[in-house]
Amino acid sequence: MTTFRQHMQERVVQELAEIPDVLKPGIHAVTFRIDSVAQDPRLPYLAFGYVTEDHVDRQLTRPDPPEEWEARWSYAYFPPSALEGVRILGHDHVHDPRGAELHHRGAVAEGLWWEGEDEDDEEERAERLDAAFHALCVDLARELHEGGHLVAALGRPVPVVLYDMFAPDEMFEMTRAANPPELVADFLSGEQER
């Protein structure tokens, strides 16, 4: 039986392989935006995307351009989630029904699922679900490197930037943990400024 982790690994590799060939040479980073449906911690998902050099150049040539680090590495300047190239994977019944089913099954088996409101340990379960999903996303990014998937799909390694807009301080820690150091040195140079 397929587990949620296996499903997510397969989907991330599949999404990477499906990036249009014409865009692959210009991609400077793959992005993993961690979120949840309606901010419900029981329904986490990963928005898989990427940032191209063309996108960075467009940001830098705006009338009021951001700093170069911001244009290149800040999720505030990444392409919006509605654009082509961003795919939702995880506990989202609309975009990934299989992922939703597998995540629900796993959360129930681990005693982390709850129904209704105001259960005594709802907050603790929510924190555990959130931590487990963040750790899974870091592992998925590592697997893209260690399994050679980034090189196979793009012809070279690129960093995977992980971020959760509701926990911005974790961005540097997760991205550092998910990538070889040499790929994220420029990204991490912005850590001291935040």
pLDDT in tens, 7-27: 999 999 999 999 999 999 999
Percent of the chain residues past pLDDT 70, beyond the cut: 94
Residue 192 lies in a domain: no
Whether the per-residue pLDDT at 111 is higher than 70: the answer is: yes
Full residue range of the structural domain in which residue 56 is found: 4-186
Q: Is the dihedral of CA 46, 48, 54, 58 positive or negative?
A: negative
In this prediction the pTM is: 0.94
Whether the per-residue pLDDT at 84 is higher than 60: the answer is: no
Average per-residue pLDDT for the chain = 92
pLDDT in tens, 157-188: 999 999 998 998 899 999 999 999 999 999 99
Nearest one of 73, 32, 39 to 56, comparing CA atoms: 73
Residue 133 φ/ψ region, left for φ over 0, alpha for ψ in the -120 to 50 degree band, beta for the rest: alpha
Residue 194 lies in a domain: no
- Cα separation, 41 vs 47, in Å, equals 15
Please report the DSSP string for 13-29 in residue order.
HHHHHTS-TTTGGGEEE
Residue 191 lies in a domain: no
Other CB atoms within 10 Å distance of the CB of residue 159: 25
* Domains: count for the chain: 1
Residue 193 lies in a domain: no
Cβ–Cβ under 8 Å, residues 96 and 89: yes
Beta-strand relationship, 27-36 and 87-90? unpaired
Helical axes 122-146 vs 4-17, angle rounded to 10°: 40
Please report the DSSP string for 43-109 in residue order.
SEEEEEEEEEHHHHHHHHTSSSPPPHHHHHH-GGGSPPTTSTT-EEEESBTTTBHHHHHHHHHHHHH
Residue 180 lies in a domain: yes
- Cα separation, 27 vs 16, in Å, equals 11
| Predicted local distance difference test score (pLDDT) of residue 1 | 83
